[in-house]
Amino acid sequence: MHRGAGVAYAPLSAKDGFAVLRATVPAVAWALEGAAMKLIPLNTRTAAVARRVVWFENPSDALQDPVRFMAYAMAHARHADMKLLRRYVSAEDFLEALDRAPPGIIDPRSWAYWNNVMGRYPAPPLPKRRLP
């Protein structure tokens, strides 16, 4: 039995090992599989949302980092904006955006709300900035 990152696991095949880690540490499952959140397409509607949510950047630049963009959307988007974005963002991608949200973007109330919407109650701790 090995211990790493606070998780105990027994040596298994690569496929079984990913399943164990995915079940016990969902925040790192995307890194193990090399998966990344799908890009949100740039069109007139998503550009309008991006202008409202990430007002200090060009919409095409804002949409290039979907995790960061969704963090801003969770904090600042209107209901209609989120309804539109959910057309392009699957539940798995939404959870990935929560798991990988940069610190300091989502306020505590929005963090609790979106984690609850995605079936996480109580919400995990807010992302924290790590200084060297």
Count of beta carbons in the 10 Å neighbourhood of residue 91: 10
Q: Which residues contact 119 (CB under 8 A, 6 or more apart)?
A: none
Q: Which residues contact 52 (CB under 8 A, 6 or more apart)?
A: 76, 77, 78, 81
Q: 26: helix, coil or strand?
A: helix
Q: Are 40 and 69 in contact (CB under 8 A)?
A: yes
Q: Which residues contact 31 (CB under 8 A, 6 or more apart)?
A: none
Rounded Cα distance, 41 and 106, in Å: 22
pLDDT of residue 132: 85
Rounded Cα distance, 20 and 23, in Å: 5
pLDDT mean over 71-76:
97
**β-pair type (2-4, 7-9):** antiparallel
Domain residue limits, the chain: 2-33, 44-117
For residue 45, what are its two tokens? 């509607």
pLDDT of residue 130: 87
99-115 residue pLDDT tens: 999 999 999 999 999 99
pLDDT of residue 5: 38
Confidence check: pLDDT of 24 > 80: no
61-73 residue pLDDT tens: 999 999 999 999 9
pLDDT of residue 1: 39
pLDDT of residue 27: 43
Confidence check: pLDDT of 50 > 90: yes
Confidence check: pLDDT of 14 > 80: no
- Predicted confidence band of residue 17 (pLDDT cuts 50, 70, 90): very low
- Predicted confidence band of residue 25 (pLDDT cuts 50, 70, 90): very low
